[in-house]
């Protein structure tokens, strides 16, 4: 089947996903959903097939979300769907359906989960910023351990932490870095993020971290935490803010990184995770 994308040309993420689909030669069917909104049955089925909740699929930024009081937790799914059908801009974007499945492709890299195609090696975002693909790796992956040790990042608790660890590459197959998640229910500890020295300054962390956060979101996390001694300015650019250590939930405080391995001088940072 041809991929179907619910597209908003005014959205950078939507443009990037369409660009990826076209570059992969998939000949997508483009639905301008704000002009031709889905019917209720199609919207309900699409959200259900994506594995997300109705509330997860509400667009907040640049919409009447706040004016309509849609942050009220008492609102039912039916009431939220009514609002989305009345104001299609409230439907987050872009949804993509392929023969593999359905996903709300935020960040744009999520569309790689849905397509099986040879990608152009020079594929990037429409503004030239990099795209990355992720793959799960083991805690004792020798390249990961070497990369972390070279940057004096923690390795002693990799296995015991139960972290989900990933290697990242650009579409040309070149290594782009590593990153990991300690999943703690509604919270997640972001860790082991490292980009090769010869690839720094290329914007790779700006692709790696959002993709890590989406993986955490899909696992149930809604707040991300991290500890850093040297990279606070870089993470601030990605939306993280400093936090007092006492603000960390018990699950984060109980991690080895927080309780014993990271020095007291390390900066604690947090960020709400949303789509």
Q: In this predicted structure, what is the pLDDT of residue 199?
A: 96
Q: In this predicted structure, what is the pLDDT of residue 242?
A: 98
Domain positions in the chain are: 4-113, 133-272
Q: In this predicted structure, what is the pLDDT of residue 154?
A: 87
* 204-219 pLDDT, tens digit each: 999 999 999 999 999 9
What SS3 state is found at 32?
coil
Q: What CATH architecture is 133-272?
A: 3-Layer(aba) Sandwich (3.40)
What SS3 state is found at 16?
helix
CA distances to 148, 149, 184, 192, 253 from 156, rounded to whole Å, are: 10, 10, 19, 12, 18
Determine if the pTM surpasses 0.75. yes
Closest CA to 196 of 214, 177, 216, 223: 177
**Cβ contacts of residue 217 below 8 Å, gap of 6+?**
273, 274, 275
In the chain the beta strands, taken as DSSP E runs, fall at 4-6, 29-31, 95-97, 102-104, 133-137, 164-169, 175-184, 187-194, 223-228, 241-242, 267-272
Residue 28 tokens read as 């997508």
* 21-72 pLDDT, tens digit each: 999 999 999 999 999 999 999 999 999 999 999 999 999 999 999 999 999 9
Percent of residues, the chain, with pLDDT higher than 70: 100
Partnered with residue 268 across adjacent β-strands are 227
Whether 4-113 and 133-272 share one fold: the answer is: no
- The average pLDDT across 185-204 equals 97
Closest CA to 91 of 215, 183, 7, 160: 7
CATH superfamily of this structure's domain 4-113: Glutaredoxin (3.40.30.10)
Residue 225 tokens read as 């935490």
How far, in Å, CA of 138 to CA of 146, rounded? Answer: 13
* 97-106 pLDDT, tens digit each: 999 999 999 9
Interstrand relation of 95-97 and 133-137 (parallel, antiparallel or unpaired): unpaired
Sheet holding 133-137, edge to edge: 133-137, 164-169, 175-184, 187-194, 223-228, 267-272, 241-242
Residue that has been written with the tokens 């296995």 in this structure: 159
- The average pLDDT across 104-117 equals 98
Q: In this predicted structure, what is the pLDDT of residue 184?
A: 98
11 is annotated as an active-site residue: yes
Tell me what the pLDDT averaged over the chain comes to: 97
How far, in Å, CA of 104 to CA of 56, rounded? Answer: 10
Query: Catalytic: which of 11, 57, 105, 262?
Result: 11
Contact assessment for residue 199 and residue 177, using Cβ atoms and an 8 Å cutoff = yes
């Amino acid at each position: 089947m041809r991929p179907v994308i619910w597209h908003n040309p005014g959205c950078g993420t939507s443009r990037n996903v369409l660009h990826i689909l076209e570059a992969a030669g998939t000949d997508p069917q483009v639905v301008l959903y704000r002009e031709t909104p889905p019917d209720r049955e199609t919207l309900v089925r699409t959200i259900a097939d994506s594995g997300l909740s109705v509330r997860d699929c509400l667009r907040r930024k640049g919409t009447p979300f706040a004016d309509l009081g849609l942050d009220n937790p008492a609102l039912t799914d039916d009431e939220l769907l009514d609002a989305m059908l009345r104001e299609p801009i409230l439907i987050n974007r872009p949804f993509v359906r392929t023969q593999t499945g359905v996903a709300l492709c935020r960040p744009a890299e999520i569309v790689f989960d849905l397509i099986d195609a040879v990608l152009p090696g020079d594929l990037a975002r429409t503004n030239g910023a990099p795209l990355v693909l992720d793959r799960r790796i083991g805690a004792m992956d020798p390249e990961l351990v070497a990369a972390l040790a070279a940057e004096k990042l923690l390795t002693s608790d990799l296995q015991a932490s139960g972290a989900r660890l990933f290697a990242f590459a650009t579409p040309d197959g070149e290594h782009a870095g590593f990153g990991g998640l300690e999943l703690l229910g509604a919270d997640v500890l972001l860790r082991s993020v490292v980009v090769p020295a010869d690839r720094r300054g290329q914007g790779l962390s700006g692709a790696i971290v959002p993709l890590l956060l989406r993986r955490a979101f899909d696992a149930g996390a809604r707040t991300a935490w991290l500890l850093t001694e040297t990279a606070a300015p870089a993470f601030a650019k990605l939306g993280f803010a400093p936090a007092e250590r006492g603000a960390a939930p018990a699950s984060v405080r109980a991690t080895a990184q927080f309780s014993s391995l990271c020095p007291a001088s390390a900066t604690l940072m947090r960020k709400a995770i949303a789509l």
